[in-house]
Structure 1
Amino acid sequence: MIGIDIGRVIISGDTDIPNQFFSEDYLSVSPVTQAFMAIQQIVETYTPQNVHLVSKCGEQTQQRTLQWLTHHQFFEKTGVIPTQVWFCRERHEKRSICEAQNIRTFIDDRFTVLQHLLELDQLFLFRPSEEELEAFENANSPDKVRLVDGWEALLKKLT
């Protein structure tokens, strides 16, 4: 089972920053380069039942995220099952979602999320911000987390 974060991994910009995703024009925010193509390949390789989206956000962002995914035909283009999208309000809560869904691989742009998931088999730090990269580099267990600079690099490292 694979878990994929949404903000800055699928949807460009950070959903934690209001001026990026909270304007009236939020549906025009573009996807991360190659995200749909790469996720489609992941779905084809691991089957739709084994791919989950897991996002930390507030209620309004949750609704906008679902609208964005629908507007951009994400589910049709990638094969991800719409009922396999999970939301939580705190970053550390992604761990309980991973446990409940038996997710063993996780892709996120925040090391501050991945540090709660060190018991999983594969962790990918996806195009982190400078702050998240610094947290990763200063961590005690960086060997558990693999740094990737985009979807093409991730597909090459995903086993």
Structure 2
Amino acid sequence: MSISLAKEAGRPALRRRRQLLTVLKAAATLAGLEHECGVIAVCLLGKKHMAELNEAFLNHHGPTDVLTFDLRQDARPSAPAITDDDELVIAEIDVCPAVAVEYVGAHGGNPSRELVLYIVHGMLHLSGEDDQTPAARRAMRAAEKRVMDALSQRFDLERFF
């Protein structure tokens, strides 16, 4: 399993790209995805593009923090992509850095750490976690905390943009 990272043009600017990829690879392992074959594509999108995807796939208005498409199950109605290295893209995790910035502006915290949390959330969905019921949400939050605590012990999560 490998991680690809793409960013739509615009602000905020992404810094420490290689370090972020290292963090995401560790997150995938902590989420239980280390034995998957293929690429998890992480896409950092602007609010407009994220709002369009949120409307198209969930019928919700406005941008959201994270959308996860498990292409192993054809969750997105397009053919799975092949990377330049001839690896099959098995999942796409779309996140919106601007939503992270807005969230921490209103609630406190660090936007880079919030962004990593969104990606971890997507990875946990790929591992079978759900957040559709109160009990499932509690289990998801506990898994998020476990992964984020482990990442925080190994990495500086606060300076990616």
**Does the TM-score normalized on the shorter chain lie above 0.5?**
no
Q: TM-score, normalised by structure 2?
A: 0.30
Q: TM-score, normalised by structure 1?
A: 0.30
